[in-house]
Structure 1
Amino acid sequence: MQTQLAPEYKNTPHGKEAEAILRKCVHCGFCTATCPTYQTLGDELDGPRGRIYLIKQVLEGKEPTRATQEHLDRCLTCRNCESTCPSGVQYGHLLDIGRQVVDEKVPRSTGERLKRWALKEGITSPLFAPAMKLGQSVRGLLPESLQAKVPPKSEHGAWPTREHARKVLLLAGCVQPAMLPNINYATARVLDAAGIQTVIAGNAGCCGAVKFHLNDQDGGRVQMRANIDAWWPMVSSGQVEAIIMNASGCSAMVKDYAHALKDDAQYAEKASRISAIARDVCELLPAMLPELAEKLQGRVNIQGKLAYHPPCTLQHAQKLRGGVERDLGKLGFRMLTSRTESHLCCGSAGTYSILQPELSKTLKARKLAALHEACGNEEPAMILSSNVGCITHLQSGTGVPVKHWIEALDEALQGSAGR
């Protein structure tokens, strides 16, 4: 795709990056076939190809409008289009640039600015945990829309105390410890069963994704640098072999630190090292299979079919598709995914379910229907996923328990140990 950037962008870092991405696009339209918002709305401008043209026009000097901003806002950033694109267009990075440029030129309403500010500051604040605790205590009195965002209080069991020579750092996350604390505890127990010790750096916080994708890119980078500082002593000394995340949105973001901080003279090299050793927890699973299989002894005490939803940040951003289903299947789990719609977003997409509630609900209903269809239109015993946002979003639309796959594996290991 030929481009003629406006002088204000031509020689800037963002302009150069955007131009390189735009030149890869051949306007083939394959991306529209797998775009959830295009499939739902049927508008070319609500698909990747249309949004690429909108961004191109703005970078070439055309004044953006509120409609331009809305079309970019409606993108889920699921990056399904990147999995489909035969030319390797890095749409996600282009969208980050486009949103920032458009927001600088198109003022948002006071109400919209307040909502976005509350999300990016509130979700990542130390006050989120006490606020969630308060919400859980009065959950039955909350309106249905708020109840969907406040999961019931749950128990998390004990953290393993054994020391192991092999150690990994775990990013606890910003919302997960308060909303679904058992995911981190289950992760530590499963790794412990395979002879790996899980360590958490107390000063590490949000991965930066919430602020970055709400167009506070500078604020997101501040959080990235803080995490690097928290992890660096153990990373540089070789005390840990990897930094792991059990929320695929976080693992996708940490793997992108090298790109986000590439122009930061002080942090670029460190960010590159951090991204190089960042792993989604599912990437550790293949090597753990022999020890886990020995402990389970082929006896997985979960009756019924398990429907699995692979998050977009796992299968499209990280290109980790099919591994969880394959590896859990080897351990005896009956894992099923939709044959036709497993690639589509569930509608959670970070803060998308709050900012675009109607589109989000439509995508959630479609995803749940596809998961039931995968189980032969039977009600699955459990729905599993790999990201806290997907889990809480899907749970609000079904009475079937929705959990992280590592929680199901932890339950199976604990059941096996008790026999």
Structure 2
Amino acid sequence: MLGSIGLLLIAAVSVLVYFFPADSLLGPTGNDRGSLGSTILTVAVIAAIADQLRKGRRWAWWVAVAYGTLHVVLTLITLGVAIGVDYETTGAVTVGTALLWAGEVALLYGGRGAFRVPARRKITDGALSGADPGTAVRALLTDRCESDGLVPCLFSTTATVADQAGELGWRSVQIAEDTIVDLAQLEFKGKAWQDIRSAINKASKEGIEFRMVHLAEEPFAVLAQVRAISEEWVGEKGLPEMGFALGGVEDALDPAVRVGLAIDAGGSVHGVTSWLPVYAPGGEIRGWTLDVMRRRPDGFRPVVKFLIASVCQTFKEEGAEIVSLSGAPLARSAGADGTEPIDRLLEGLGAAMEPYYGFRSLHAFKAKLPPRHEPVFLCYRDEADLPRIGIALTKAYLPEASAKDLMALSASTH
């Protein structure tokens, strides 16, 4: 980062000298500032190399050191030959730039151990070229962030992982809260479950039936209704459907995913939820976590409560330990600490995205249930990594969002 900033400083000085010539400590700069074309070319080349230095590229280090050294050496030779000659109005820019390059070369040479990232090349063998995603992910985690100049972060981790990362010098910030229902003691009794019992009773009176299915095996009529409900839901948000940690109908078609449907006697689908398996060590499924949750706007009003209650009952009967209602991104319980700048930034983003995706409304709905809450964290090495992490997460969550969409979202944060 320092090497990149040093190069950008040299580029900035070149621009200032060209457009604002003046008398400097080394003399006037007006006569040897070069042409506009040479200034633009210098700035463009320096900017390109600076970006690669920021990524730790080995070739960029060699280019910067070689060019800087050459510049300093040529300047010294020129000065040596011209000793005793009255420069009058020439030499200030040449000498001044040489001094900046000398400092840059010294910085790069002193930090040469940081520039070990080779030029990107196509991977033709090894774990990353295979078809097994799990193997590829493990290979990436263990071997490639440092050697490829990537910025690592741990996204959506538990408090235990955040504590372990803290012991390694990493920082962490809470980004969500996971809502967990322990199924072993689950009984829909007491005041806390009154809304759930009312939803179940009302569904029974109105002929709404719960079905646990694999969506890909359902008839075309059911699948078409599910798609229509989801598309209508997305259309109301003003932004494309989110991805990454949030799923859609296509993800719900995976055979490993269970889907809960609320269907009336006429075959109309009123709501849908999909559930991803939660694995215990050894590969056994110990629970399920909510992914897709959609309801028909003109359908059975308490359908979500009915679906969640029915799903919990079904999974409990199957012997599952927990059901996670998933984390509401950028939402936290009242009273959660938010004093750090990154916390305030996340609060602002959460408020901005609320009209589009209802993260906090989702969190408020879950708060009506009596489960337990567990914080979810983002772990990162240093604040300098946060801009690149933010860009990566934005691209992951909204891969189909246009520049206009993102500008609209950005404007709503101010």
TM over 0.5: no
Q: Which has the higher helix share?
A: 1
Which TM-score applies when normalising by structure 2?
0.23
Q: Which has the higher strand share?
A: 2
Q: Relative contact order (alpha carbons < 8 A, sep ≥ 6): 1 or 2 greater? A: 2
Over alpha carbons, which structure has the higher Rg? 2
Which TM-score applies when normalising by structure 1?
0.23
